[in-house]
Structure 1
């Protein structure tokens, strides 16, 4: 099975940076709903830092309010 294509700094339409986006895809996540409820759990992934978690939290909250 091949690697997922590099889609750059975007994850499910959210610009979080190439390292964080790649780390999430490599861990098997494909969209915001796939992520754990506690996004701080993602900090254990190499490439995902506090800024990416903050951006993902904001994106999740925005999408839930639709």
Structure 2
């Protein structure tokens, strides 16, 4: 969905509530999550353990991780 103002590159498996929470927090790119800890992301309303797992796997696939991991 390039061109849409709410577009992001987070995996769809993370779920729409989690993706929306990340966008609302100003994150639209997976690489931006490297500046945040998993606990900080988990604290966002709409982000649960499944989303953290999915995001962690997506980060790892790119050779990245949450801050402090």
TM bin, normalised by shorter chain, reads 0.7 to 0.9
2: CA distance, partners of 1:47 / 1:23: 6
Residues 9-59 of structure 1: CA deviation (Å, up to 9, x unaligned): xx5141211100000000000111111342221111100001000100000
SS of the aligned residue for 1:30 comes to: coil
Larger RCO, structures 1/2 (Cα 8 Å, 6+ apart)? 2
Structure 1 residues without counterparts, runs of 5 or longer: none
TM-score (structure 1 length as normaliser): 0.74
Partner of 1:53: 52
Structure 1 vs Structure 2 CA RMSD? 1.9
Following TM superposition, the consecutive aligned residue runs of length 4 or more in structure 1 with deviations greater than 6 angstroms are none
